[in-house]
Amino acid sequence: MSILYCRYFSTYLPTQNSKAMKYTILMAAVLFLQSSTLMAQDLIDIAPPPTAGPDSFGFEQVDVMPEFPGGSERLHSFLASNIQYPEEAKENGLEGRVYVEFVVCEDGSLCNERVMGSFDKACSNEVLRVVSKMPAWKPAEKDGKKVKTKYRLPVSFKLEYPEPVEPKTE
């Protein structure tokens, strides 16, 4: 029988194929997964479930998806021209994605905007501000009728660093 040092438990473990070894490895995996889940929850604000009511309802599967006026290129252009990188996030070098969900109503208006996941509170607030300014969308259709539907949109925040200038050599 050989012995293996386990840093996670700060102890020596037998390495034979025994029930105790399998149990120890299983427990280590469970503890690791629980701790990584808790760390991820600390980093990401998860929105509470929507309240029940007519405004929170939306079809998930439709025949024709809702569309921003002018299509996805115009949507990206709208987001790029309206989102302002929060100064605090910029100063701290924070980059990441904000996942926002909203309902496109039958008339194309947006409601129930909420952040599903984020890396920074200020960036989340900025995305919600810009989404609330969006013009009316082309609504979704199901069986030939305009219907409410949920739409999920990831918005990336990436800092632009100046390209290094190479010195001229003569």
In the chain, what percentage of residues exceed pLDDT 70?
A: 64
Q: Which of residues 132 and 26 earns the better pLDDT score?
A: 132
d(CA 10, CA 4): 11
**Has residue 119 got a pLDDT over 80?**
yes
Query: Domains (ranges, CATH) in the chain?
Result: 3-43 (no CATH), 54-157 (3.30.2420.10)
Place of tokens 């290129």: 73
With CA atoms as reference, report the closest residue to 32 among 15, 4, 7. Answer: 7
Q: What mean pLDDT do residues 121-142 have? A: 95
The reported pLDDT for the residue numbered 2 is 46
The reported pLDDT for the residue numbered 167 is 75
Cβ 113 vs Cβ 129: under 8 Å: no
Q: What mean pLDDT do residues 137-157 have? A: 93
The reported pLDDT for the residue numbered 8 is 45
Q: Which of residues 36 and 81 earns the better pLDDT score?
A: 81
**82 C-beta neighbours (distance < 10 Å), count:** 13
The reported pLDDT for the residue numbered 26 is 54
Mean pLDDT of the chain: 76
Tokens of 143: 């069986």
d(CA 114, CA 87): 22
Residue-wise pLDDT for 33-74, tens only, equals: 454 433 333 333 434 444 434 444 556 688 999 999 999 999
Supply the pTM of this predicted model: 0.61
The reported pLDDT for the residue numbered 105 is 94
Q: What mean pLDDT do residues 113-129 have? A: 95
For the chain, the straight-line distance linking the first and the last C-alpha, in angstroms and rounded, comes to 68
